[in-house]
Amino acid sequence: MSRKRKGRPLSGWILLDKPEGMTSTQAVGKVRWLTQAAKAGHGGTLDPLATGLLPIALGEATKTVPYVMDGSKIYRFTARWGEATSTDDREGPVVAQSDTRPDEAAIRALLPGFMGEIMQRPPAYSALKLDGARAYDLARAGETVELAPRQVRIDRFDLVDCPDRDSAIFEVACGKGTYIRALARDMGEKLGCFAHVTSLRRLRVGGFDISQAFSLDSLTELCQNGAAQEYLLPIETALDDIPALVVTGPQAERFRHGQSLRVSRAGLPDAQDGELVVKADGKAIGLALLVDDELRPVRVFNPDLPITPMSRSEVP
């Protein structure tokens, strides 16, 4: 007999403004504790040094995590010139130094070379695996870590400010798998001065924006008051860029049981085969693949139970 998962059957997205010093896993655990959700996951790792938008999926929303992780991201970061570190950020020891400092013109001239599809070598201190082990575990053990370059996409790379000769602030819009620490490192190498990241903040993930996010303090207060409508976004919020199809009655029930449906092309977006969000009674009930006139379930979302307020004794 399988063990019943403990916790409330909450489903939806919570957007957390992650504080510095907390890992993404710790943040998910804290939010799950606050909400008492039975299941939780996140839509893209942030380093402990980083702050900003961490989308956290509860319950059935965890089935849409890959769609969020594949979305584009926007970051704002500060690069410190003149020093390279082992981790490519300020948490690691300095391993190389230079008295050279780039001027604003040199920085601006460099940025177009980082646009589009580029090859990037991930930092040695990363969660990528090498021969079955995490790269950061090997690096911490003193081993030399050489990760193969891989292709990433940079959609926008702006110089925001040069507050002093030792640092510059940038904003970058990028695709999945881009390491901001590696961008700073590579800029420093090309400018002949070394560089590392001193601050990093994520502003956007897919369709989610930092303006929608809650701090841990705010979230704690909302959970204590049982104001679920204030912090929980619907599952389909993560799927806004996917066309939707509405089904009713017996069709919805069949779909919920994982059965394919025959549908009419009338009213379908562009009448094209592909992935669709399936809705019933105003809520997403799953994702499906439309092939010819057949709607094939890909992910089915199960209905949630009503959300009830937590007592003060249940909230940390």
**Cα 252 from Cα 295, distance rounded (Å):** 12
Catalytic, 99? Answer: no
What does residue 177 show for φ and ψ, rounded to 5 degrees?
85, 5
Which of 47, 88, 89, 186 is an active site residue? 47
Helices (H) and strands (E) in the chain, counts: 8, 18
Residue with tokens 């409330």: 8
- Number of Cβ within 10 Å of residue 178's Cβ equals 21
Query: Rounded to the nearest 5°, which phi and psi values hold at 250?
Result: -60, -35
Strands (E), the chain: 12-18, 40-42, 51-58, 73-81, 83-85, 94-97, 116-120, 129-130, 133-134, 150-164, 167-174, 195-205, 208-209, 244-246, 261-262, 274-280, 283-291, 294-300
Q: Which long-range contacts (CB under 8 A, 24 or more apart) does 141-148 make?
A: 147/121, 147/122, 147/123, 148/121
Q: What is the DSSP string of 263-297?
A: ---TTSGGG--EEEEEEETTEEEEEEEEETTEEEE
C-alpha distances (whole Å) from 19 to each of 52, 78, 193, 231, 283 are: 7, 17, 30, 17, 32
Closest of 247, 299, 282 to residue 268, by C-alpha = 247
Q: For residue 92, which of 189, 195, 23 has the smallest C-alpha distance?
A: 195
Q: Which residue has 């303006």 as its token pair?
A: 211
> Which residues are identified as catalytic?
47
